[in-house]
Homo-oligomer: A and B are copies of this chain.
């Protein structure tokens, strides 16, 4: 899609992606888990160091853990989709192994609540609704509201049309086009029942308990640039975040 052709994926990323997929498909389910570094190196025709680099990423995502002298094991998480969000960059890279499908196109709308949360002085917002798939299964429905000044950058983008399937995130599309970069995302996480729209898009029962995540992205001037509301299927998704202590 609309992009640089000449991008070759690094070997360690390709490997970690494959392993991630195999793990979530349950290939290495029980007992002593994954192949050793040497085995993987040989199987994939890469050096042991490259395998180590791939494992390093999986460890930091919390997908596997390693024990010297024993091996590498899948962290048991019921096979749910695990995503590690520790920074805004992580949110923008959500597209790495998911695809998004537009359910309702980016269009002008009146929405008092969204407008007020975006701190606008009108009721006009631009709204797009999409769902996101992981390995063919829809696991989240997201509604994004944008101020008119922000929306105009992408209102004609093909990725925002109905039925469009792409590997982007809205914030990832938007961010390079903004005058002032996004520096902060305030999140609210709670539990909410699935609305009928959500239930339809995610193929679950209306009223089903969902993980609801609201995000307000703001730029360096502390102006909100995007408000998103996501309903995650808890059976398919766990939200992970790592908090660290300042360097003191």
Does chain B have a CB within 8 A of A184?
yes
Copies of chain A in the complex:
2
A87 CB contact (under 8 Å) in B81, B119, B246: B246
Does chain B have a CB within 8 A of A1?
no
Count A interface residues, CB 8 Å.
53
A182–B248 alpha-carbon span in the complex (Å): 9
Residues of B within 8 A of A246 (CB): 78-83, 87, 89
Stretch at the interface among A37-45, A95-103, A150-158, A232-240: A232-240
A189–B248 alpha-carbon span in the complex (Å): 27
Residues of B within 8 A of A85 (CB): 243
Could you list which residues of chain A lie within 8 angstroms of chain B, going by C-beta atoms? 20, 23-24, 60-63, 65, 77-91, 119, 181-193, 209-211, 234, 237-248
Q: List 24 A-B contacts (CB under 8 A).
A: A62-B87, A62-B186, A62-B244, A63-B247, A79-B247, A82-B246, A84-B244, A86-B241, A87-B244, A87-B245, A88-B245, A182-B245, A183-B244, A183-B245, A184-B242, A186-B240, A188-B239, A188-B240, A189-B240, A189-B241, A190-B238, A191-B209, A209-B209, A211-B211
